[in-house]
């Protein structure tokens, strides 16, 4: 099985889990966080698509996409429909990018800053590992959102 198939399958698996969580959220929950100092539910969603946009831009050799820039593009932070559309747009762009790559390009070293978490502390990592990291990052935040829901009494074992 080729790398592209595995990466896309991982992204799809993680997105299925996120979509299960999104189906349990509503607009009133977006500004909520379990404690002061934690990201709100809506901010968790912005973190997911914003980081995906940053990673793909970096892999494409585009100028760095800052959080200030990403934040200014979030027109409706309290709309689940809007945030879901941004998640879908960022994933669609990622999949188009992945489809544009050859197997050799997926295995080629990514040019990313060594202090980026995606580098895993290594001097070089393959492009495919950065793409897998997008899924890992999304799953991490999906897990946080599951915890947020559980904190509010929505037991994931009962879903």
pLDDT per 10-residue tile (average), the chain, 159 residues: 97 98 98 96 98 96 92 89 98 99 97 74 89 97 98 95
The residues pairing with 126 across neighbouring beta strands, listed in sequence order, are 109
Please state, in angstroms and as integers, the Cα–Cα distance from residue 5 to each residue in 9, 16, 56, 101, following that order: 6, 16, 18, 12
| Sign of the C-alpha dihedral computed for residues 87, 90, 96 and 97 taken in this order | negative
Residue 156 is predicted with a pLDDT of: 95
Alpha helices, DSSP H, located in the chain: 3-22, 41-59, 67-72, 80-100, 103-107, 127-151
Please state, in angstroms and as integers, the Cα–Cα distance from residue 19 to each residue in 32, 62, 139, 142, following that order: 19, 29, 11, 9
Residue 116 is predicted with a pLDDT of: 75
- Which numeric CATH code is attached to 3-24+38-158? 1.20.120.450
């Amino acid at each position: 099985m080729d790398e592209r198939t595995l990466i896309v399958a991982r992204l799809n698996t993680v997105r299925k889990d996120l979509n299960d969580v999104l189906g349990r959220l509503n607009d009133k929950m977006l500004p909520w966080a379990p404690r002061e100092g934690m990201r709100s539910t809506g901010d968790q969603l912005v973190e997911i698509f914003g980081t995906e946009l940053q990673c793909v831009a970096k892999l494409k050799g585009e100028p760095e996409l800052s959080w200030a820039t990403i934040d200014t593009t979030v027109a409706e932070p309290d709309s689940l429909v809007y945030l879901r559309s941004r998640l879908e747009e960022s994933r669609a762009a990622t999949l188009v990018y992945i489809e544009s790559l050859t197997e050799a390009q997926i295995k080629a070293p990514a040019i990313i800053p060594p202090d980026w978490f995606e580098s895993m502390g290594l001097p070089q990592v393959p492009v495919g590992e950065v793409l897998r990291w997008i899924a890992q990052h999304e799953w991490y935040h999906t897990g946080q959102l599951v915890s947020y829901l559980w904190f509010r009494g929505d037991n994931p074992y009962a879903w």
